[in-house]
Amino acid sequence: MSDSADRIIEATMDLLADRPFEEVGLRSIADHAGVGLAELAAAFPSRTDILGAFAAKIDRAVLAGDFSDMADQPPRERLFDVLMSRLDALRPYRAALKSLMHSVRRDPALAVALNAVALRSQGWMLAAAGIDAPGWRGRIITQGLALSFAQVLRTFLDEDDPGMPRTMARLDKALRDAQKRYERFARVFGPAMSNVTEPPAATASTTEEEPATPPEPAPEPIPAAEPVAQEPAPTKPAARKRARTPRARSAATPSRRTRSKRAAADEAE
């Protein structure tokens, strides 16, 4: 990391210690770091990129530590020591982190951006503890660890005791709870997740290209059978209920209207 980039990161954290994130502008960061806006833009395209660089700086400080003496410890104990080392590296920035956490509660977009930063950092913390977390299971572990560490961070920021007994107790409980949750998840979704994350290895017969199999010939057409004379199907009997059809009246039978006219004419004569 260049000297100017480090000055920009430190200037941002200094400003965050005095004011909320939404009031820390790019101009104020550049002025506080003693750089121009062009140099600031070349180093970091946005303020959240500066926060990501700060988290990466803490990552490197933790990864530079020697954890070889924990090789025979259970994974949870190794992770506990790694995360305590991270909290030690964050100690000088407590005021800035407390201000930033207040801003996160008010800004969902900032929370989403910092969650991505936390996932990257916790992936490195798992690696430092000797815990491999690839695939979908690894993403679940990393996300759960990021959420658990955020809860521990609140206790850390509110504790004044240099020995951090409350923080250590909170971290130990968070890791135990996270392990139980993952074990329950693995019991329920383990077989299904293994199918997703670990596809079966390809065999030699499937990896090499095989010649295309020619399509099977179409079956010979079946000749049409000679028409067979069939007896006409018996007609169905007519339904009992038929539609009424008007009955044809013979020409010799006068209608009712005609008979009444004739009777009236006879009376007139």
The pLDDT score that the predictor gives to residue 186 is 63
For the chain, domain boundaries: 3-195
pTM: 0.68
The pLDDT score that the predictor gives to residue 224 is 45
Q: Determine the Cα–Cα distance for residues 196 and 184; give it in Å rounded to an integer.
A: 18
What CATH architecture is 3-195?
Orthogonal Bundle (1.10)
The pLDDT score that the predictor gives to residue 196 is 33
The pLDDT score that the predictor gives to residue 204 is 38
Mean pLDDT of all residues belonging to the chain: 79
Q: Which residues of the chain are under the pLDDT cut of 50?
A: 191-215, 217-231, 234, 236-261, 263-264, 267-269
